[in-house]
């Protein structure tokens, strides 16, 4: 999500990855909220189940990869907290905009009714955790100048040691603590809680991994397909453990599952070495944060998966062999519609900014 150079010059491999990741996010929500997971597990035959597990487990790394990419581009920025004020505002203002606009516009259109708490909550998107990802992303952004100063001061040996320790703590230890077979021997309660990778611990951990890739893992002249092979292999291993290891299902899809973390690193190492530039890819990727905030706002989320795409909960939808293509199409439609709304928002903000500059210049000229 972090951009280190201008949109005109930056390479498009990672930007293509950002787009893919957001499609993965929407797909996961299709599974979890849209009902695809329930249908696949309880209704589909073996080929349908196999396709579901392969695509779902392949997509689980998407959230963490965003933060790995953030760390990758930010670790060498050298920016102070004061220098990041504009970036913090650039992230927070759209949060505030959508947090207020969506609920009140929806109420005006008769889509839902708001209670007092929901009305007040709309004005505090950061602290009310309307989007857990956005709150954590902002926290890591605020901490990044201090993290960067510490990380760039480490030698490669020290940084490697840190990464290994964090991997053992936040992935391996966490995984074993979640298994019933070992939960009484390996525990996390009152030590640290990662909430399946949805905590500040996990986001800082991923930021540090991204910084390590940037500083100490050299790029290649071209993309190495062995990383994609390893990505698929890790997915299959995770699925097999899910199917055949007792109680592993509790941790199989956790963000900080060690196999999922390694999957994410494989994706970053493949896409960063794709040597091409595309203004179209870069332009499309710029809407990702808006796409996430719009479709994952809790009121929109309910309407989206319970009403507008409510047919995903119906068995008849899965009786045709075309349903996987239809699900992909749904994900693309959600991305495109939300992306268009985000572009309108950016144009609106740009117009307001230009007007503000003109008014300010006019006042100065007439003083």
**What does 175-214 look like in DSSP terms, one character per residue?**
HHHTSTTTTTTS--TTT---GGG-SHHHHHHHHHHHHHHH
pLDDT in tens, 239-297: 999 999 999 999 999 999 999 999 999 999 999 999 899 999 999 999 999 999 999 99
Instruction: Report the pLDDT value the prediction gives residue 363, as an integer from 0 to 100.
Output: 79
Rounded to a whole number of angstroms, the CA Rg of the chain reads: 22
- The C-alpha atoms of residue 198 and residue 325 are separated, in whole angstroms, by 30
CA 219 vs CA 216, 240, 275: distances in Å? 10, 32, 11
Instruction: Report the pLDDT value the prediction gives residue 7, as an integer from 0 to 100.
Output: 37
- The C-alpha atoms of residue 264 and residue 225 are separated, in whole angstroms, by 14
Asked if 102 and 297 touch (Cβ cutoff 8 Å), the reply is yes
pLDDT in tens, 334-353: 999 999 999 999 999 999 98
Instruction: Report the pLDDT value the prediction gives residue 367, as an integer from 0 to 100.
Output: 67
CA 50 vs CA 142, 146, 262: distances in Å? 42, 45, 22
Instruction: Report the pLDDT value the prediction gives residue 5, as an integer from 0 to 100.
Output: 40
Q: For the chain, what are the domain ranges?
A: 13-365
> Which positions of the chain have pLDDT values less than 70?
1-10, 367
Q: What is the Cα 221 distance to its own chain's centre?
A: 27
In terms of Cα–Cα distance, which of 113, 66, 114, 57 is closest to 91? 66
- CB neighbours of 334 closer than 8 A, spacing ≥ 6? 26, 291, 295, 304
Instruction: Please name the residue that has the structure tokens 């589909």.
Output: 44
Instruction: Report the pLDDT value the prediction gives residue 362, as an integer from 0 to 100.
Output: 78
Instruction: Report the pLDDT value the prediction gives residue 9, as an integer from 0 to 100.
Output: 52
Instruction: Report the pLDDT value the prediction gives residue 115, as an integer from 0 to 100.
Output: 96
Instruction: Report the pLDDT value the prediction gives residue 206, as an integer from 0 to 100.
Output: 98
H helix count then E strand count, the chain: 16, 0
Instruction: Report the pLDDT value the prediction gives residue 10, as an integer from 0 to 100.
Output: 67
Asked if 59 and 329 touch (Cβ cutoff 8 Å), the reply is no
């Amino acid at each position: 999500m972090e951009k280190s150079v201008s949109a005109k010059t930056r390479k498009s491999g990672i930007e293509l990855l950002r787009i893919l990741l957001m499609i993965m996010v929407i797909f996961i929500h299709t599974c979890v909220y849209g009902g695809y997971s329930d249908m696949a597990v309880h209704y589909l035959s073996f080929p349908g189940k196999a396709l579901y597990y392969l695509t779902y487990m392949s997509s689980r790394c998407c959230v963490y990869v965003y933060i790995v990419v953030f760390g990758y581009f930010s670790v060498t920025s050298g920016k102070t907290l004061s220098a990041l004020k504009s970036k913090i505002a650039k992230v927070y203002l759209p949060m505030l905009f959508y947090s207020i606009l969506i609920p009140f516009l929806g109420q005006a259109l008769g889509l839902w009714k708001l209670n007092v708490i929901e009305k007040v909550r709309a004005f505090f998107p950061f602290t009310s955790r309307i989007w857990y990802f956005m709150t954590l992303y902002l926290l890591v952004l605020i901490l990044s100048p201090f993290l960067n100063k510490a990380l760039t001061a480490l030698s490669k040996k020290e940084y490697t040691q840190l990464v290994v320790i964090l991997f053992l703590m936040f992935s391996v230890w966490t995984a074993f603590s979640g298994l019933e077979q070992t939960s009484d021997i390996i525990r996390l309660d009152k030590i640290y809680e990662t909430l399946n990778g949805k905590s500040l611990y996990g986001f800082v951990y991923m930021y540090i991994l991204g910084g390590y890739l940037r500083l100490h893992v050299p790029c290649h002249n071209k993309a190495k397909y062995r990383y994609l092979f390893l990505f698929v292999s890790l997915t299959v291993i995770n699925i097999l453990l899910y199917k055949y290891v007792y109680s592993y299902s509790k941790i199989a899809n956790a963000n900080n599952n060690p196999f999922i973390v390694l999957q994410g690193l494989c994706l970053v190492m493949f896409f960063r070495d794709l040597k091409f530039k595309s203004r179209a890819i870069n332009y499309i990727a710029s809407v990702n944060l808006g796409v996430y905030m719009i479709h994952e706002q809790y009121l929109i989320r309910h309407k989206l998966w319970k009403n507008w795409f409510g047919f995903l909960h119906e068995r008849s939808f899965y009786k045709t062999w075309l349903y996987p293509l239809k699900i992909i199409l749904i994900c693309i439609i959600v991305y495109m519609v939300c992306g268009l709304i985000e572009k309108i928002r950016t144009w609106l903000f740009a117009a307001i900014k230009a007007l503000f500059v003109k008014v300010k210049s006019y006042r100065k000229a007439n003083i």
